[in-house]
Structure 1
Amino acid sequence: MTEEPMAENTGLVDARARARHVRELYETLEGRLLGRTWTTPELAIGFTNDAAYVGRLVLAAESTWDIDGDTDAELRHKLAECLWWAFVLADRLAVDLPEAFESTMDRIGAGLGQAVEGR
C-alpha cells in the first residue's frame, strides 16, 4: 500500500471561513445580550456540551437511548456544530486547523500504512 499525499484541503479552509462568519454573528449577539463575548473556557464548555450530546445521539441511533425528535437530523446537526466549535476554538487558540488536520492525518496515515505493511 502506498501513501498518496493529500492536496491542501480547500474544503476545510472554506469551512473555517464560514465558521468564522457565524462566530462573528454570535459575537454581535453576545455583545448585545451580555455586553461581552464568550471567553475561551465558555467556548470550550459549549463544545464539550455538544460533543457529549453526540454520544447520546449515537446511542439513540443504535436504539439504546430514547430521544424526542429525528435522531438522524439531530446527529447531522450536532456533528456539524462540533466541527464549527473545533474551528472556533482553533481560531481562539491560534491553531491553523486545516493545516493541523492535514499534518496529523499524514502522520497517522504513514504510521498505519507501515503497520499494515508489517514494517
Structure 2
Amino acid sequence: MSKENFDEIIHRSLEIRKKYHELELLHHGSEWTVEEDALAYLTDAGLVGRNIMSQQQRWPKAGSETELEHKLAENIWWLIVLAEGSGIDIKEAVDKFLTKMDVALK
C-alpha cells in the first residue's frame, strides 16, 4: 500500500464514518452523536495504552502487537472524525500545533 497524503486519509476516514452512520441507523434508528464518538475514541485510546504496556512487557496479553497497530490507526481515524464533527479543520489544527511546538522548542 502506498503512503497517502493527509487529504486522502481524511477523505477515506470520513467516508468510512458515513458507512458506520448507515449501520447505526439500521441497527439503532439513529446515528451516534459526537459525544458518543468521543466516548468510543476514549475507549480505543485506553486500549492503545494497554497494548503499549503489553508490547513493553509490562502487561500480560498475547497478540497485542497486531492490535496495537490497529488501535493506533483507529485512534487517528477517530481524531479525524471528532474534528469533523466538531467543525475543526484537522489539517489546520495539526499545522498550528506543529508550528507552535517548533517555535516553543527553538
The whole-number CA distance in structure 2 between the counterparts of 1:79 and 1:50 is 9
- What does 1:44-63 align with in structure 2 at a 5 Å threshold? 44-63=38-57
Mind listing any 5+ residue stretches in structure 1 that lack a counterpart? Answer: 1-9, 114-119
User: Does 1:101 pair with 2:94?
Assistant: yes
Runs of 4+ in 1 over 2 A off after TM superposition: none
Aligned to 1:42: 36
The whole-number CA distance in structure 1 between the counterparts of 2:64 and 2:38 is 24
Q: Which has the higher contact order (CA 8 A, sep 6+)?
A: 1
Equivalent pairs counted in the alignment come to: 103
Distance apart, 1:50 and its partner CA: 0.1
Distance apart, 1:45 and its partner CA: 0.4
The whole-number CA distance in structure 1 between the counterparts of 2:46 and 2:53 is 11
Aligned to 1:6: none
Mind listing any 5+ residue stretches in structure 2 that lack a counterpart? Answer: none
Among 26, 32, 57, which residue is 1:32 paired with?
A: 26
The whole-number CA distance in structure 2 between the counterparts of 1:14 and 1:106 is 22
Q: Name the TM-score, length of structure 1 as normaliser.
A: 0.83
Among 17, 21, 25, which residue is 1:23 paired with?
A: 17
Structure label with greater radius of gyration = 1
Distance apart, 1:14 and its partner CA: 1.4
- What does 1:3-14 align with in structure 2 at a 5 Å threshold? 11-14=5-8
The whole-number CA distance in structure 2 between the counterparts of 1:109 and 1:41 is 32
The whole-number CA distance in structure 1 between the counterparts of 2:61 and 2:22 is 32
Superposed CA RMSD in Å reads 1.1
Aligned to 1:84: 77
The whole-number CA distance in structure 1 between the counterparts of 2:56 and 2:39 is 26
Q: Name the TM-score, length of structure 2 as normaliser.
A: 0.92
The whole-number CA distance in structure 2 between the counterparts of 1:61 and 1:94 is 35
